[in-house]
Structure 1
């Protein structure tokens, strides 16, 4: 499984990457502190080689998570069923959940920090949906 992690906080990237590695579910983990770089990476993999999972922070300077999702909308047909986006957020704002539901590419919203159970749930959901 190929995972792309997009978060502007170096410590969050470090912790999440270590947890993913410890669970051993990812063949490849690509991390990006700049969402613009992550977006270019995902676009470069289309068609046919999109990551299986994108873990996306919402609150980032410049291009935030919402703008990242909007930038992927033209590629929605290529990504649906192939790439599953999970929003990672420390926000408890209920409008985030409502807004996330407006994006068909978003498979779930997870409150930081990501834990072992959430990682296993993501893996199970992705494997089930890709079968």
Structure 2
């Protein structure tokens, strides 16, 4: 009797919440995911451009350092510039990691939602049990 009662409660919950609420939530999450993917693509293209520029600057600084064997005589602004470039690269890595974490969270939320076939799969036996 207890199982039948639980099935009845589950059936009421499915009817109450309905597949529509799950579908609406799924659509909302998919829209958010698409927006985040667009932002990620924009960020990655921007990041790649900046990364290339920073790598060029680093290469230029390294070339200057190797040409001037006496590093003690290098101007302070070269060291300052080099440290700024490294900070920018690290900041971009952190921003990318944050965006990727957001995408992973959204994908997990989408995976947690039952699809329509799963809802139908569980609804049919419940309806059959309720009719008995």
TM-score range, shorter chain: under 0.3
More strand by share: 1
Q: Normalising by structure 2, what TM-score? A: 0.20
More helix by share: 2
Q: Normalising by structure 1, what TM-score? A: 0.20
Structure with greater contact order relative to length (CA < 8 Å, sep ≥ 6) = 2
> Larger C-alpha radius of gyration, 1 or 2?
2
